[in-house]
Amino acid sequence: MEFNIEQLAEELPDFSDHEGARHWFTQKYGERFVLRETNTIEGKKVYFYHLIKEPGLYNEYLENISDDVSHEINPDAFRSYSTIEISEDGDVSITI
């Protein structure tokens, strides 16, 4: 599956909340859209997702960071996903 992040950013509808945005991304990308963490920034809850572009490389990256012995990370691993930030009020930010 090819990803054009610039095109994705142009296609984004306006969301009124996190749930609506999460649903849209899940419908479009399925299991390639995964929640990684949540945080509160300036009093607003923000959800951080990974949009997985290269599953094999991404899974290798996850295995390496969970390995107790070695944390050698292939720099290409960071190109295997994009980070999608969704705030509780539906604002979306995409990191290439």
| Model confidence pLDDT, tens digit, residues 12-22 | 999 999 999 99
Enumerate residues 6+ apart whose C-beta is below 8 A from 78: 61
pTM of the model: 0.85
**The tokens of 23 are what?**
């649903």
The radius of gyration of the chain's CA atoms, rounded to the nearest angstrom, is 14
State the Cα–Cα distance between residues 42 and 96, nearest whole angstrom: 23
| Model confidence pLDDT, tens digit, residues 61-80 | 888 777 656 566 667 778 88
Longest dimension (CA), the chain: 44
**The tokens of 49 are what?**
């997702």
